[in-house]
Amino acid sequence: MHRSSSSDKPRLSGRATPQGTLRYAARFHGASAPGYFREIPGGLVMSSVGIGTYLGDPDETTDHGYTESVTAAVEGGINVVDTAINYRFQRSERSIGAALKHLAVKGYARDEIVLCTKAGFLTPDGEMPEDVEEYFAREYLEPGILNPEEIAAGCHCMAPRFLDDQLSRSLANLGVQAVDVFYLHNPETQLGDVPADEFVRRVRAAFEFFESAVASGKIGAYGLATWNAFRENVQSPGYMSLGEIEALAREVAGADHHFRFLQLPMNLAMPEGLLRPNQTVHGKTLATVQAARALGITLVVSASLLQGQLTRNLPTYIATALGCQTDAERALQFARSVPAVTTALTGMSRVEHVRANLRMLQIEPAPRDEFLKLFEQNPVSRSSS
Ligand SMILES: NC(=O)c1ccc[n+]([C@@H]2O[C@H](COP(=O)([O-])OP(=O)(O)OC[C@H]3O[C@@H](n4cnc5c(N)ncnc54)[C@H](OP(=O)(O)O)[C@@H]3O)[C@@H](O)[C@H]2O)c1
């Protein structure tokens, strides 16, 4: 079993700040196109392309790939780094931790980088244990970190004690004292498994923990990272209402709550967050991107390249509407040009992909009329229905 002693090692202090992220953007003054960096409510400045660390094998080659890619990304103009404790069995967090150390030596301060992780899915440590049940019993059940009644779908938990434990492990893996965004990972996983009132009780309890973690300085803000929840029809069992979730945060912490981020997939093949009017906010029916804007929630979108599938063979009407030189650029241009989206994440375990995607630094996000050309003959919206 791979065991880390990273909890004893010195950690980078601080968090992303408005001043630090502005200083980061200023490094690229003259090299970055207007609209590449975006300021969010509260003042953080985020790159419109972010690096994700989901895909890949739990092996050393991929570890090094992500460490080099995150380093090259931050050196090249990407200051949003996204991970989750379960990505590659905690190895992606550790790869990022190694990159942050290199970056600190090279003069990139912690306050310049928006570091985001997630908790919710049960994960082994470093590799798949030979006896999975024995591992979770020893590591989680016997110490009382996990209560079997709080596990949903055999793989997911959002009880405060578990989230607290996961946050401590993530901070150790990343080698930091705090993360900027802590997401509840795919909470909709629990919807098929627990009654609606119990689901709401669990989310509220998770938010209470998140607010306490903000108060103790371990996280800057929190959010939901989702897959289906905000792309579904209202009638679907996996559907979630952003307005209701934001109201829970208000119940917990008032108007100054820290539920400030939402992550959902958005790409040319999965545009539901833009096109499906499945949310109601202040009495208005809205698409999720509009609902997030109305509620002051920053949108970070995932799977911008549909896990690599949109990097080739896109139909020509997309090139006509969006320009750019390659299909990967067009897919990224779509995701980050969706109104109200701050950052489009793309997974990059290879430096050559970082270098290719950094071309977006020099390209302005698509203006609204150019973006709307995509919908003139409605092909994107047809694919979503
Ligand atoms: N529910 C959730 O919370 C959730 C779900 C999915 C994703 N996410 C987050 O969003 C991030 C992005 O999504 P994703 O990684 O699933 O998928 P993605 O960004 O759509 O695609 C990543 C894949 O595209 C490849 N790629 C990147 N740039 C390329 C280029 N210019 N040309 C050709 N191939 C290229 C990558 O290859 P290499 O790795 O070889 O460089 C990787 O295989 C994730 O890493 C994760 O951080 C969150």
For 172-213, what is each residue's pLDDT tens digit? 999 999 999 999 999 999 998 999 999 999 999 999 999 999
Which pLDDT score, from 0 to 100, does residue 369 have? 83
pLDDT at residue 378 in the model: 56
Q: What confidence score (pLDDT) does residue 377 get?
A: 61
- Average model confidence (pLDDT) across the chain: 95
Using CA atoms of 275, 277, 301, 20 in order, give the dihedral in degrees to the nearest 10. Answer: 120
**Which pLDDT band holds residue 379 (cuts at 50, 70, 90)?**
low
The residue to mutate among 307, 334, 355, 359, having the most atoms of ligand 1 within 8 angstroms of its beta carbon, is 307
Grade residue 384 by pLDDT with cuts at 50, 70 and 90: very low
Burial environment of residue 352 by CB neighbours within 10 A (0 to 12, 13 to 18, 19 or more): exposed
The pLDDT of residue 385 is 36
For the chain, the domain total comes to: 1
In a domain, 3, yes or no: no
pLDDT in tens, 23-49: 999 999 999 999 999 999 999 999 999
| Residue 371's pLDDT band (cuts 50, 70, 90) | confident
* Residue 252 alpha carbon to ligand 1 centre in Å: 34
42 in a domain, yes or no?
Answer: yes
β-pairing verdict for 37-39 and 45-47? antiparallel
Name the band, by pLDDT with cuts 50, 70 and 90, for residue 57: very high
Percent of the chain with pLDDT over 90: 92
The whole-number average pLDDT for the span 57-82 is 98
Q: Label the pairing between strands 49-52 and 279-281.
A: unpaired
Does residue 370 belong to any structural domain of this protein?
A: yes
Q: Pick the atom of ligand 1 nearest to 302's CA.
A: 10
Q: Which stretches within the chain are classed as H helix?
A: 18-27, 60-76, 91-105, 132-136, 160-174, 196-215, 242-253, 272-275, 288-294, 316-322, 327-337, 351-357, 368-373, 379-384
Alpha-carbon span 231 to 99, nearest angstrom: 33
Q: What is the pLDDT of residue 374?
A: 84
Q: What is the pLDDT of residues 255-301, one digit of tens each?
A: 999 999 999 999 999 999 999 999 999 999 999 999 999 999 999 99
- Residue 4: inside a domain: no
Is the confidence at residue 99, as pLDDT, over 90? yes
CA gap 81, 75 in Å, rounded: 12
The pLDDT of 343-356, averaged and rounded, is 98
Residue 14 has pLDDT above 60, yes or no: yes
Identify the band that residue 382 occupies on the pLDDT scale cut at 50, 70 and 90: very low
Angle 215-218-219 from CA coordinates, rounded to 5°: 85
| Distance from residue 348's CA to the centre of ligand 1 (Å) | 6
pLDDT of residue 158: 98
Nearest Cα residue to atom 8 of ligand 1: 302
| Closest residue CA from atom 44 of ligand 1 | 52
What is the pLDDT averaged over residues 144-165?
Answer: 97
From 261, 353, 363, give the residue whose CB has the most ligand 1 atoms within 8 Å, as the site to mutate. Answer: 353
Check residue 383 and give its pLDDT.
43
Q: For 3-12, 143-152, 240-249, 320-329, which range has the lowest pLDDT when averaged over its residues?
A: 3-12
What is the CATH classification number for the domain harbouring 22?
3.20.20.100
At residue 90, the pLDDT reads 98
Q: Find out whether 1 and 220 touch, Cβ atoms under 8 Å.
A: no
On whether residue 333 sits in a domain, the answer given is: yes
In a domain, 179, yes or no: yes
Residue of 4 and 155 predicted with greater confidence: 155
In a domain, 284, yes or no: yes
Nearest CA to ligand 1 atom 9: 302
pLDDT at 4 over 90: no
Residue 307 domain-assigned (yes or no)? yes
pLDDT at 373: 80
Ligand 1 atom closest to 83 (CA): 47
Closest ligand 1 atom, CA of 346? 19
Å from CA of 304 to ligand 1 middle: 7
Structural domain harbouring 155 = 11-384
As a whole number, mean pLDDT of residues 136-155 equals 96
| pLDDT, position 1 | 39
- Tell me which long-range contacts 331-335 makes (C-beta under 8 A, separation of at least 24): 331/267, 331/268, 331/304, 331/305, 331/306, 332/49, 332/304, 332/305, 332/357, 332/360, 333/360, 333/363, 333/365, 333/366, 334/267, 334/268, 334/304, 334/366, 334/371, 334/374, 335/266, 335/267, 335/301, 335/304
CB under 6 Å to ligand 1: residues?
A: 52-56, 82, 118, 185-186, 225-227, 263, 302-308, 311, 328, 345-350, 353, 356-357
CA angle, 240 then 160 then 129, to 5°:
95
Average pLDDT of the segment spanning 96-107: 98
